[in-house]
Structure 1
Amino acid sequence: MHEAPWLTVLGLGEDGLDGLSPASRQVLERAEVIMGPPRHLSLIPDTGAERIAWPVPFAEGLPILTGLRGRRTAVLASGDPFWFGAGSVIARNFDAGEWTALPGQSTFSLAAAQLGWPLETTQTFGLHAAPLTRLRPHLSPGLRAILLLRDGPAVTELATYLSETGFADTMLHVMEALGGPRERARSVSLTEALLGSFEHPVCVGLEVAGEGRAVPKASGKPDDIFETDGQITKRPIRALTLSALAPRRDEHLWDIGGGTGSISIEWLMCDPTLTATSIEPREDRVDRIRRNADTLGQDRLEVVHGTAPDALAGLTPPDVVFIGGGLSAALLDWLHVHLPTGTRLVANAVTLESEALLAQWHEKLGGDLLRIELAHAGALGPRRGWKSAYPVVQWSVTL
């Protein structure tokens, strides 16, 4: 017979005990320890249990919680703990038999009900601990989104960011303390938001409008959204390369010879479960890759300063590898020896020497060898003609 879990994660609303189910009330009454942010602790009456305020940053609370193992413990979280909440962090740090969860009503559900928006077509973002730039790939006229923000002043920061990105006509539906006695909802313009004052906890419904530039959803984003020194995989080649990389859920990419970071950044844009490491030998380009990733909302990109293959040891193992720079026989040898069967590899070559190297490895391991030749129309005296780019040879193979 299994022992009952000692740890329960409780979803708590702004109405405190009033919004809790009988099962959640019973957990609180029986708890020896109640742990949660000070604001959550203030929403429930004294039950005689020991109270522990969850520290900031959040990670510092996990060792404290571990030390409570064996005592009946309730952890308080906002609404639904598994929707941008603490639930998933706790779940991956404790064994399945140690914890259980009793979620409450999510802030997103309360906000959607307030606004009359269908959640299935409304995007949701937890930005209380993430930068506002996470919005950038999604910003487009007509977008409806609900955002959880860090605090009241973050509403002003959001209004500033939307103005700077060209979406100055956006309407903000600011909702404070939803579901509780302090609940307040206001619809304001960006100008009004810049002049207003807002109280934590706060969420915002966005109706995006303005002349700002929307980032296309298809692979092969415009070159000019990236800061570059000229070392960039150009848009048509990038689109074909992303197609060859063929990202799938939960996969990790090594982008060797990151340059501008365009390949790994577009990889991450394909799905929020994807991860990537960009390896770049030049320090100035490392900094540029980081700036591009941050600006385009892909701050989760890991950037490594170093030269492959020396810099590859100890990195998170990849599911897919792209070689955009630094192609050499030594690098291919290292990858062939160290990467497990099933790893996908894509390499682009421009020089005759690197083309010859890919031809040798294609003969050795098989795969697909593709020659890409592109030409753009340009002025030719008073008329127009075709200006050819250097051909690119692309080798893709599953090891």
Structure 2
Amino acid sequence: MAIENKKWLSVIGIGEGGVGELSPGARGFIDRASLVVGGKRHLAMLGECPQPQLVWASPIESSIASILKYRGNPVCVLASGDPLCYGIGVTLLRYVSISEMTIIPAPSTFSLACARLGWTLTEVETVSLCGRSPDFLAAILTPNAKLLVLSADADTPQIVANLLTQRGYGDSRMTVLEHLGGERERISSDIARLRAKTDVAALNAIAIECRIDADKTPLNRLPGLPESAFHHDGQITKREVRAIALAALAPMPGELLWDVGAGCGSIGIEWLRSHPRCRAIAIEQHAHRLHFITDNMSALGTPHLQIVQGKAPEALADLATPDAIFIGGGVTAPGLLDTCWTALRSGGRLVANAVTVESELELLRWQQQHGGELNRIAIQRTQNIGGFLGWKPLIPVTQLVAFK
């Protein structure tokens, strides 16, 4: 039966206590539905259910296509906790407008964890490892930080303990919270480096109180990480120049960067570390440097860096439109600057570095035609000269900064 109300799709959050804890209004959406959708665990909570049921399939897009066929008829989707906290509600909103949807959340795992630990939700960082690499944690590890992690499965706590230990945070306290809000709720704590593999429920979350090891130096999130933080073959933008370049690139949440001639990936990686919603593509033609990029994106918590092997400008074809472009080398390649400028969205930023006379001339030629500003960056570092200290200059860098 078609419904008059435009809000044909309801998304109902359910806690560990099951449907018995739902409000009458939430239960009404289930009872009136022409189709009920959920995971096997959620659908089992309903017991006898007269309506047709749909279990989520993989890939999930096939199930969403089935839901959309019911558009205009009441459909109810069952979700865990808060559907908009790393939940199915986020995915559904990519296909269905909120004007067609009713969302009734239950307390999220993060809210329940804070209630058990006495933490303030606004003062902790949250991350989901469901379907995501544990390396994402590396980007948010800072001394004294409090982290809440949604686990992918029963193995996640031990994987996280191992990662913390490897990254120099083995003294951190981990609290594993299982079946929060239900009769089987269990909470246990341990030090990461001392944690031994134990039986853990597949449905769990992890709270981490970050403590850095005494012999380790933390990495901050501001641009300009030391060169020693990266694996590289010498082809790396020096930290001072990198910080200046990233300030000019001005990353904003959700924006996309092209890192052209990425080398070891330092610019793209630091762009991604600036905000979890930033996106970046590293374009590099040398195969051996791709291994450096892969190692660095894992170690520094940016496994979502997209890598494209190829020579620019040919390798830039068909890439998503960038908000900012950094060219770390190869500006003398025919057509590279013009190709990048054409691809850049209106309002985007182009930053290009040059260290040779030929590349400087190319930047000057381009700047005279298209505008922008040229800056000369000269860095000197101290080094020992006998028993004294002297200044050793690094190769000067000419930098083009242009706004489209």
Same fold (TM over 0.5): yes
Query: What is the aligned partner in structure 2 of residue 353 from structure 1?
Result: 358
- Uncovered stretches (5+) of structure 1, i.e. residues with no partner: none
Equivalent pair of 1:14/1:43 in contact (CA under 8 Å): no
Query: What is the aligned partner in structure 2 of residue 327 from structure 1?
Result: 331
Task: After TM superposition, give the deviation of residue 203 of structure 1 in Å.
Answer: 0.6
Task: After TM superposition, give the deviation of residue 18 of structure 1 in Å.
Answer: 2.9
Task: After TM superposition, give the deviation of residue 155 of structure 1 in Å.
Answer: 1.1
Out of 33, 37, 42, the position equivalent to 1:35 is 37
Equivalent pair of 2:230/2:296 in contact (CA under 8 Å): yes
Equivalent pair of 1:159/1:194 in contact (CA under 8 Å): no
Query: What is the aligned partner in structure 1 of residue 281 from structure 2?
Result: 277
Out of 74, 78, 81, the position equivalent to 2:80 is 78
Out of 347, 371, 375, the position equivalent to 2:376 is 371
Larger CA deviation: 84-93 vs 204-213: 204-213
Larger CA deviation: 293-302 vs 68-77: 68-77
SS, match of residue 335 in structure 1: helix
TM-score (norm 1): 0.94
SS, match of residue 280 in structure 2: strand
Out of 116, 124, 127, the position equivalent to 2:126 is 124
Task: After TM superposition, give the deviation of residue 25 of structure 1 in Å.
Answer: 0.6
1:1-399 paired onto structure 2 within 5 Å: 3-190=5-192, 193-211=195-213, 212-328=216-332, 329-399=334-404
Equivalent pair of 2:321/2:343 in contact (CA under 8 Å): no
Q: Distance in 2 between matches of 1:203 and 1:336?
A: 45
Q: Distance in 2 between matches of 1:105 and 1:219?
A: 36
Q: Distance in 2 between matches of 1:198 and 1:218?
A: 37
Kindly provide the CA deviation profile for residues 191-240 of structure 1, in whole angstroms up to 9, marking residues without a partner as x.
Answer: 66423211121011111224144221221012111111111101111011
Equivalent pair of 1:152/1:199 in contact (CA under 8 Å): yes
Q: Distance in 1 between matches of 2:185 and 2:207?
A: 15
Q: Distance in 2 between matches of 1:339 and 1:112?
A: 43
- Uncovered stretches (5+) of structure 2, i.e. residues with no partner: none
Percentage of pairs with the same residue: 38
Task: After TM superposition, give the deviation of residue 345 of structure 1 in Å.
Answer: 0.7
Equivalent pair of 2:322/2:345 in contact (CA under 8 Å): no
SS, match of residue 45 in structure 2: coil
SS, match of residue 267 in structure 2: helix
Equivalent pair of 2:84/2:90 in contact (CA under 8 Å): yes
Q: Distance in 2 between matches of 1:190 and 1:333?
A: 51
Q: Aligned pair in 2 of structure 1 residues 285, 118: CA closer, same or farther (>3 Å)?
A: same
Q: Distance in 1 between matches of 2:343 and 2:203?
A: 49
TM-score (norm 2): 0.93
Q: Aligned pair in 2 of structure 1 residues 112, 280: CA closer, same or farther (>3 Å)?
A: same
Q: Distance in 1 between matches of 2:363 and 2:33?
A: 64
Larger CA deviation: 91-100 vs 161-170: 91-100
